[in-house]
Amino acid sequence: MASKAADELTIASITRGIESPKKRSSIIEIRFDIQDVLALLIGVVITVFVIYRRFFCD
């Protein structure tokens, strides 16, 4: 039973190219875009506002 599962995993890995000598590549290019900057900026502004209200306002 375990041997069959191991054999199937080995076959699946070889089929997907795990033994390929070529460098792996990603299909999706990952970038830090303007939407990411805006989301980060909004998060920082909200965090600063909440901390300010909690500690410096009555």
Whether the model pTM is above 0.85: no
pLDDT single digits (tens) 17-42: 776 677 767 678 888 999 999 999 99
Any idea what DSSP says for residue 58? -
Which pLDDT belongs to residue 20?
A: 66
Per the domain annotation, does 52 fall within a domain?
A: yes
Q: Which amino acid is at 26?
A: S
Per the domain annotation, does 45 fall within a domain?
A: yes
Residue with tokens 């980060």: 40
Give the total number of structural domains in the chain: 1
> Residue 54 and residue 49: Cα distance in Å, rounded?
9
> Which residue range(s) make up the domain with 38?
32-58
Per the domain annotation, does 4 fall within a domain?
A: no
